[in-house]
Amino acid sequence: MSFRLPRPAVLFLALSLWGGARAFDAPPSSAIKATGTVEVAFSPWDDPEAALIRLIQSAKRSIRIQAYLFTSRPLARALLDAHSRGVAVEVLADAEQTARGDNSQIPLLAMAGIPVHVEVRYAAAHNKILIVDAELPGAAVATGSFNFTYSAQARNAENLLILRGNRKLVRTYLDNWQRHRLDAVPYAEAVLTK
């Protein structure tokens, strides 16, 4: 007499014995109490790019960015201005999109002395995040589907949230940014190895 387990049972049993059943457990998420303000902008109707420029202009100490695509000249100009006035600006960018982007502003930022690192670990480093003054009470984080591009501003349906006044939330984004930064390689090194 033979006994056959149904396929799902075989998979579950194998994973349980292997100890890999935990792969199906969802990681704990961070529940952070809602505080502060939320600014919302949708393209093409609103002006998310202008909202980001105002946020960059408000920076007193630091700006950290994670960008999938970065072709927006106005945003690049705002970052260069912030860098010129002494704000510490640091950029993480998707390696593949930066390498193939004809209009990428990443080389311009790097040539101006802004530390730029590219993320090479992931199929797509798809974050779109801007963290401003994480060390200060007025800290803010901007996130959403909005890429830092002309198309996101003028052609696409995108969303942007700017969250202010929640230092724990900003700290969570900063911790994630730093984790990605540790895995990234300097832009100059990535360019030389192409």
- Does residue 90 register a pLDDT over 50? yes
- Does residue 101 register a pLDDT over 80? no
Q: Is 133 labeled as catalytic in the residue annotation? A: yes
How many whole angstroms separate alpha carbon 143 and alpha carbon 164?
12
Local confidence band at 124 (pLDDT 50, 70, 90 cut-offs): confident
Residue 162 is inside which H or E element, if any? strand 158-164
Which of residues 125 and 178 earns the better pLDDT score? 178
How many whole angstroms separate alpha carbon 89 and alpha carbon 50?
18
Give the N- to C-terminal CA distance of the chain in Å, as an integer: 61
What separation in angstroms does the CA of 49 have from each of 43, 79, 95, 165? 9, 13, 23, 21
Which of residues 163 and 1 earns the better pLDDT score? 163
How many whole angstroms separate alpha carbon 65 and alpha carbon 143?
10
- Does residue 97 register a pLDDT over 90? no
pTM for the model stands at 0.82
How many whole angstroms separate alpha carbon 63 and alpha carbon 38?
19
How many whole angstroms separate alpha carbon 75 and alpha carbon 53?
6
Q: Does residue 116 contact residue 160 with C-beta atoms inside 8 Å?
A: no
Q: Does residue 164 contact residue 37 with C-beta atoms inside 8 Å?
A: yes
Query: Of 83, 117, 128, 180, which residue is the catalytic one?
Result: 128
Query: Of 47, 126, 175, 183, which residue is the catalytic one?
Result: 126
Q: Is 168 labeled as catalytic in the residue annotation? A: no
Query: Of 83, 133, 183, 194, which residue is the catalytic one?
Result: 133
- Hey, is 51 helix, strand or coil? helix
pLDDT tens for residues 143-180? 999 989 888 888 889 899 999 999 999 999 999 999 99
Please provide residue 113's backbone torsions phi and psi, each rounded to the nearest 5 degrees. Answer: 95, 10
- Hey, is 103 helix, strand or coil? coil
Map tokens 């830092």 to a residue.
Answer: 148
The mean pLDDT of 86-95, rounded to a whole number, is 95
Q: Is 126 labeled as catalytic in the residue annotation? A: yes
- CB count in 10 Å sphere of residue 139: 24
pLDDT tens for residues 23-62? 445 556 768 888 899 999 999 899 999 999 999 999 999 9
Q: Domains along the chain?
A: 34-192 (3.30.870.10)
